[in-house]
Structure 1
């Protein structure tokens, strides 16, 4: 019987991601975050051409072609991510795939993201919207951006500890089905179900900082940051109750990490008795 007061159920410590997942995550971090910072730290100015006026750049066929390609890639990712999340499409896929529905959704999302990263066209023949190039800020500001981005990615990793990572990726549904344990989402507390109904993207603020806090903003990066920020802003309806629940869960996980293995096992046993 599920107890409303036992909030950590279904949000236990999760296994480490596979080598493929780690490699894909590292590639996404490089693409979304450190590519622009690297160009600024090394003094590479190939990200944009400030000597070219906007009136000339926007008539350049290579610039227009790159923007069309990038908008098509963003549309592919957003349509895939939104269309398969619609209730009617979910029910149809559930009737066909069963417990593999969530796994298929995550696989197609990763595939669309890989296509976006592989075929993304940087706009190098247009000026930057802003670029920090005056000494000493041309050295210190990229380093400050690097530190902030590193902190944001560390926070993102810590937030994922609060969420049920195997359930989000569709893995837990499969082995729960094999063990006849039912739907793992139904075993969570009502507050956890409410949170997941409002928020399946737990890193909105940190990802927004990573997208916008840069030493140089090229035209293709503006398109990427603006599109993903708007999409993230429309993708959840988090409220104060959800934020309070997240705070409680994060403090619980940090307390478990600070305890010894024996103390953590005893605390888990006492939680089960309650």
Structure 2
């Protein structure tokens, strides 16, 4: 009994520490992707690039090519980690070794890869911007608009993650269910839900696309970041008509649930009027 308690305590501690690390990494990602890029442009003065340098010169600059090579390697590291550990043979092998901590390990390595990417990312400052909003009054208003839309998109992303079972996504529920002897949490979901989650683990493609591309100034390294992650998001999911039909059914059921109290009161009114008329 004591060994079971110690094992459960160790699993819970590991899972909660991983949750803290992933949460901090998520906050750093928001700062890296959105607010740092907008902050450089909030006054209308672009310091991310040098428009006075021609493209023909910039693309032959060794410092520019070196920075792009480093950034490309960091993106490859993240994509390989995120895809390799989700590959079914690797996933099954890790499941046999790690057990309920498999999802925790996946989230930890993902957050670690993101931390490495953000820590060693090389800005390309010796090349012109692909676009830059500098003319008044848009040099002030457009960064504020970008800030507002980025904030809204990140709020939507967090809401979607909560709806899509955030504890299960981070591996907390796997540990909790294992301690209670309930097995894998995904096994308690419907087959359609399991199929949907296997095709699209975190449905935030549109919102991430907005925060990746909507900026007052787009530098060369940001183009590489936005292009690589957008392509990866587009190729990673495999939704089909069956998943769409399931989502439509779930949406209709939620809408009916929200409309039920109002509908009930409307339906009750004619019955009451009919009863009063009969009594008269």
| TM-score interval (norm. to shorter) | 0.7 to 0.9
**Is residue 162–residue 249 contact of structure 1 (8 Å, CA) maintained in 2?**
no
Query: 1 or 2 for the larger relative contact order (CA 8 Å, sep ≥6)?
Result: 1
Check conservation: 1:49, 1:125, Cα contact below 8 A: yes
TM-score norm. by structure 2 comes to 0.80
Matches within 5 A, 1:1-274: 20-239=21-240, 240-244=244-248, 247=251
Q: Per the alignment, do residues 251 and 65 of structure 1 end up closer, same or farther by CA in structure 2, a change over 3 Å counting?
A: farther
Are the aligned partners of 1:69 and 1:120 in contact in 2 as well (CA < 8 Å)?
A: yes
- Answer 1 or 2: which has greater helix percent: 2
Q: Supply the distance in 2 between the matched residues of 1:58 and 1:175 (Cα, whole angstroms).
A: 53
- 2 CA distance for matches of 1:102 and 1:166? 11
CA RMSD of aligned residues (A): 2.3
Which runs of 5 or more structure 1 residues have no equivalent in the other structure? 1-14, 256-274
Give the whole-Å Cα distance in 2 for the aligned partners of 1:26 and 1:39.
18
Is the 1:191–1:245 Cα contact (8 Å) retained in structure 2? no
**Measured at CA, do residues 253 and 234 of structure 1 come closer, stay the same or move farther in structure 2, by a change above 3 Å?**
farther
CA distance in 2, matches of 1:103, 1:181: 18
Q: Which residue of 1 aligns with 2:10?
A: none
Give the Cα–Cα distance (whole angstroms) in 2 for the partners of residues 252 and 222 of structure 1. 43
Classify 1:245/1:166 alpha carbon distance in 2 versus 1 (closer, same or farther; 3 Å). farther
In the superposition, the TM-score normalised over structure 1's length comes to: 0.81
* Contact persistence 1:63–1:126 (CA under 8 A): yes
2:106 and 2:232 map into 1 onto residues whose CA distance is: 18
- Structure 1 residues 145 and 178: CA distance shift in structure 2, 3 A: same
Once the 2 structures are TM-superposed, how far is the Cα of residue 161 of structure 1 from its aligned partner? 2.2
Instruction: Classify the secondary structure of the residue corresponding to 1:139.
Output: helix
Query: Quick one: structure 1 residues 222 and 142, their matched pair in 2 at CA, closer, same or farther if it must change by over 3 Å?
Result: same
Query: CA 1:251–1:122 in 2, change beyond 3 Å: closer, same or farther?
Result: farther
- Determine if contact 2:32/2:118 at 8 Å carries over to the other structure: yes
Task: Determine which structure has more spread, i.e. the larger CA radius of gyration.
Answer: 2
